[in-house]
């Protein structure tokens, strides 16, 4: 529901209705909400229920800084053990992203974009750091999806991903890290500006 913007920031989560729709008791739904609370996606207010956490510009900045730190370290590890099988996996992930650009499904573009980055990270064989990176993407996609429209447009990531892939295949670590760093920083800038615009528009409507 969060991924498809069916519920938005600040909205109360009708967990009893959710349980009924899914044909289950409220217990597993509450357990899932507690996990989302741990991730910072929802908050629990005593005697009121669970709510989607508010959007925060400073959180976007922190998430992208943490993401960049993780991805650059994992890229180093991946390139240290890069083999032909790894290259094929990266090429497949890149092709899947390019293919998604021809469609109109925003969520599919977001997923294939994420999978390209996670493929680079997974090949490092560092499961703890990989899981940390997955959590960052979870928060970005579930909480800040509306501000990520930039990465679903063809001109934004197609050339970036291709250049990063080429540098990895060429085993040029310095270039690959530079390209990846710039790519993430650019994504952060657009996500921040998009979110800022959304928040300003929302404030203007309230006024």
What is the DSSP secondary structure assignment for residue 148, as one 8-state letter? G
The stretch 159-188 carries a mean pLDDT of 96
pLDDT of residue 198: 77
Phi-psi region of 56 (alpha: psi -120 to 50; beta: other; left: phi over 0): beta
Q: What is the largest CA-CA distance in the chain?
A: 58
Is 2's pLDDT higher than 70?
no
Query: In terms of Cα–Cα distance, which of 65, 68, 54 is closest to 203?
Result: 54
Q: Regarding predicted confidence, which is higher, 5 or 55? A: 55
Distance separating alpha carbons of residues 69 and 40, to the nearest angstrom: 20
Query: In this structure, which topology does domain 57-206 adopt according to CATH?
Result: 1.20.120
In this prediction the pTM is 0.78
pLDDT in tens, 119-169: 999 999 999 999 999 999 988 887 776 656 555 454 556 789 999 999 999
pLDDT in tens, 69-100: 999 999 999 999 999 999 999 999 999 999 98
pLDDT in tens, 11-36: 677 777 777 888 888 888 788 888 77
Distance separating alpha carbons of residues 33 and 51, to the nearest angstrom: 10
pLDDT in tens, 163-173: 999 999 999 99
Domain positions in the chain? 15-52, 57-206
Q: Regarding predicted confidence, which is higher, 1 or 194? A: 194
């Amino acid at each position: 529901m969060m991924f498809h913007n069916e519920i938005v920031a600040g909205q109360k989560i009708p967990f009893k209705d959710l349980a009924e729709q899914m044909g289950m008791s409220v217990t597993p739904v509450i357990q899932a909400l507690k996990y989302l609370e741990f991730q910072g996606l929802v908050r629990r207010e005593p005697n009121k229920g669970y709510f989607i956490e508010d959007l925060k510009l400073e959180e976007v900045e922190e998430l992208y800084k943490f993401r960049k730190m993780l991805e650059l370290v994992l890229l180093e590890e991946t390139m240290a053990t890069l083999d032909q099988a790894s290259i094929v996996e990266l090429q497949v992930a890149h092709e899947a992203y390019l293919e998604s650009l021809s469609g109109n499904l925003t969520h599919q573009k977001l997923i294939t974009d994420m999978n390209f980055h996670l493929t680079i990270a997974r090949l490092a064989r560092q499961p703890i750091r990989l899981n940390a990176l997955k959590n960052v993407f979870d928060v970005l996609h579930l909480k800040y999806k509306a501000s990520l429209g930039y990465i679903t447009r063809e001109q934004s990531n197609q050339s970036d991903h291709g250049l990063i892939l080429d540098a990895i295949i060429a085993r040029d670590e310095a270039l690959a890290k530079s390209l990846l760093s710039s790519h993430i920083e650019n994504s952060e800038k657009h996500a921040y500006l998009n979110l800022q615009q959304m928040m300003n528009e929302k404030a203007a409507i309230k006024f």
